[in-house]
Amino acid sequence: MTYQTYTPTSDESLLAAISHFFGLLVALIVWVTQKDKSRFVRFQAVQAMAYDLVVDVVMLAFVGLIMLLIFGVLVLGVGNIAIFGNQGNPTAEPVRIVVALLAATPLLIPMIFVPLAGIFFIFRVIATIQTLLGKNYHYPWLGRWVEVRLSR
């Protein structure tokens, strides 16, 4: 059953909006307290929890990748010094170039992380506003998946 024909009450809209805006823990509390009272709130709370879990996994993967790159810089840098020494050994030059490039990757953190976090936040705000207005918001890709799982 789709929820598109249902018009939620103002309390249901508020609870759904709170679930989206405040994230996983609040959405879990709303879901536990409202799951048997309102299908609209149940769907929006579960969707908000799923969205937060997806965002957490993406951000964790991003941080893990950055940590891996930083670890790579340390290993290659220390290995480079141990193998080739600090002198102007021409054999060491390609390794030093790779180390220098990897050393610059932490500078990419704000250039990637901030816009990514901003995009995730924008979706959260859109979901909050839409549900506050009483509309049945679906996150792209995720909303239909959650709806199918809840309708079983």
DSSP state string for 111-143: HHHHHHHHHHHHHHHHHHHHHHTT-----TTHH
Maximum mean pLDDT: which of 55-69, 70-84, 99-113: 55-69
Give the model's pLDDT for residue 123: 94
Give the model's pLDDT for residue 88: 60
- pLDDT above 70 coverage of the chain, percent: 74
> Helix H segments across the chain?
10-22, 24-34, 39-84, 93-104, 108-132, 142-150
Residue 37 has pLDDT above 90, yes or no: yes
Contact 49, 27 (CB under 8 A): yes
Give the model's pLDDT for residue 1: 43
Residue 21 has pLDDT above 70, yes or no: yes
- Higher per-residue confidence, 128 vs 79: 128
* Domain residue ranges in the chain: 10-150
d(CA 136, CA 49): 16
- pLDDT mean over 126-146: 92
